[in-house]
Amino acid sequence: MELTSKIYVAGHRGLVGSAIVRKLKEQGYNNIVVRTSKELDLRDKLQVDAFFEEQQPEFVFLAAAKVGGIVANNTYPADFIRDNLMIQTNVIDAAYRKGVKKLLFLGSTCIYPKFARQPMNEAALLTGELEPTNEPYAIAKIAGIKMCESYNRQYGTNYICAMPTNLYGPNDNFDLETSHVLPALIRKFHEAKLRNELYVEVWGTGAPKREFLYSDDLADAVIYLMNHYHGNQFVNVGVGKDISIKELAEKIQKVVGFEGEIKFNPSKPDGTPRKLVDVTKLNKLGWYATTSLEDGIERTYKWFLENGLETVKVANE
């Protein structure tokens, strides 16, 4: 990409898309195109086709998606598979027909089998059953990978795919019904601190292990891949190490300053026992994550506070 290349970031208001826009601007790219979901409904093929015809972007970061944690995936499975299939199909196909030079599709490590060997290598895709709680979302993302691979094979396009591990950072979703574990815990501990509660309940046993990547690190990685990687196989993006949910909760408790206890609820689902990605391929390409989990949590909590979320309603108000 040249600094003046026309770059479309789909999903620029989300956790991933906003980080990509920030990082692009930081690196001097000055011809970035964005649209809100109200301005452009990516589920609508006619709208997507008209946008690509009018704007003629040269490069596309496809970060737009319907995302959520265990609760959201369990509650809205039809929405997750339908909306994600529609979004990625419309954008990938329009990019081909309008001559986009290169597209990067962002997936998720939930594409891997529930009991995949750890750390999860790219070759593990489709070698076992998926985690049931997010299967519709995972299937949509696998379809996106295969669509990019198929367009490359049939049409000679230059589409690449990046599979990030669990993400967090500024512009994350802190809604307790639809968020992922890290932002949900930040809000839980913060509200408990405001209410002077004695404990915070955390779903599950605390034993599952997860890997967490700061969103600005992901943005740096995908821009790096856009400029340096050409290949039909997707690339894992992560930090290469994980921690238990119990350890994560304790780190967040410390950052927030909550002085009560942590109580785990084993009647609630744990989800996949472990999710650690093999980042050997990415590291060989020359990229490594640089933000520690502690620093990332502190930055995310600071963003949470600065955006007015410290005034969330507490009980009995």
The residues that are catalytic are 137
Q: Coil, helix or strand for 60?
A: strand
Compute the 3-state secondary structure of the chain and give helix, strand, coil in percent, each to the nearest 5: 45, 15, 40
The token pair at 258 is: 């909550």
Is residue 203 marked as binding?
yes
Q: Find out whether 210 is annotated in a ligand binding site.
A: yes
171: tokens are 């512009």
Query: Is 198 among the annotated ligand-binding positions?
Result: no
Structure-block tokens of residue 113: 């089998």
Is 99 annotated for ligand binding? no
**Is 166 known to sit in a ligand binding site?**
yes
C-alpha of 237 from chain center: 10
* DSSP alpha helix (H) spans, 212-292: 215-228, 245-256, 280-284
Determine whether the annotation assigns residue 228 to a binding site.
no
230 is an annotated ligand-binding site residue = no
> Does 16 count as an annotated binding residue?
yes
Between CA 308 and CA 203, with CA 300 as vertex, the angle to 5 degrees is 95
Residue 167 annotated as lining a ligand binding site: yes
Is 17 one of the annotated binding-site residues?
yes
End-to-end CA distance of the chain: 52
112 CB-side CA count, 13 A:
26
Answer yes or no: are the C-beta atoms of 92 and 105 closer than 8 Å.
Answer: yes
Is 188 annotated to bind a ligand? Reply is yes
Task: Please give the backbone phi and psi of residue 9, each rounded to the nearest 5 degrees, phi first.
Answer: -105, 105
Specify which residues 210 forms β-bridges with.
Answer: 243, 275
Annotated binding residue 11: yes
Point out the annotated binding site for NADP(+): 11-17, 106-109, 141, 164-167, 180
Point out the annotated binding site for substrate: 188, 203, 210, 270
Point out the annotated binding site: 11-17, 106-109, 141, 164-167, 180, 188, 203, 210, 270
